[in-house]
Structure 1
Amino acid sequence: MMSLQANLSKVQVEQVIERILALRQISRADQHLLMSALLSQNSLSDIDESQIKRVFDALQKGMLRVVD
């Protein structure tokens, strides 16, 4: 059961990151999901963690638009 939740979370994180980078925008819900995933870190690979950090770096640099 726990590994199923971890796999679903991983797929969800990957999909969110792909959408954010493709559209160059992030919603508050996306941001919350990524922050929660990053803080939990028990199911994130190094690649996932790196991609999340890439999104937050782009956000800090103004390369992503925040939408509600």
Structure 2
Amino acid sequence: MYSLEATVEKILSTRRITRQDQHLLMVLGRHHQLSHHDVMLIDRIYDALHQGRLRVID
């Protein structure tokens, strides 16, 4: 089973985000009604990306 929280934790702890992770986050944002908590989790990823704390890998 998919867990947004587990995915975000993995991304932040490894400081790496895959293209697959990026795609999943984009699909979630477009096609699902997200809770406030989910939006906050995704915002943490985007903040880390903008601050250069994450590296995008294939």
Q: Percent identity?
A: 45
Query: Which of 26, 36, 54 pairs up with 1:64?
Result: 54
Q: Partners of 1:45 and 1:27 in 2: how far apart? A: 23
TM-score (norm 2): 0.85
- Counterpart of 1:38, as a letter, is G
| Runs of 4+ residues deviating >6 angstroms | none
Which blocks of at least 5 consecutive residues in structure 1 are unaligned?
1-7
Kindly indicate which of the two structures has a greater share of residues assigned to helix: 1
- Report how far residue 41 of structure 1 moved: 3.5
TM-score (norm 1): 0.74
Pairs aligned (count): 58
Q: CA RMSD in A?
A: 1.4
Matches within 5 A, 1:1-68: 8=1, 11=3, 13-42=4-33, 44-68=34-58
Q: Partners of 2:26 and 2:15 in 1: how far apart? A: 18
